[in-house]
Amino acid sequence: MMQELTEKIRTWAIMRGLDEADPNKQMLKLMEEVGEIAAALARGDIDEVQDGIGDVQVVLTILSMQIGTSIETCTALAYDEIKDRKGTMKNGVFVKEADLK
Q: How many helices (H) and strands (E) does the chain have?
A: 4, 2
Determine contact, residues 62/33, Cβ cutoff 8 Å: no
Q: By C-beta, is 21 or 34 nearer to Mg ion?
A: 34
Please list the alpha-helical segments (H only) found in 1-101: 2-15, 23-43, 46-66, 71-82
Please tell me the distance from the alpha carbon of residue 79 to that of residue 98, in angstroms, as a whole number: 17
Shortest approach of Mg ion to residue 80 CB, angstroms? 29
Pattern 11-30, Mg ion, x by CB under 5 A: --------------------
Pattern 31-70, Mg ion, x by CB under 5 A: --x--x------------------x---------------
Residues lying near Mg ion in the complex (CB under 5 A) are found at 33, 36, 55
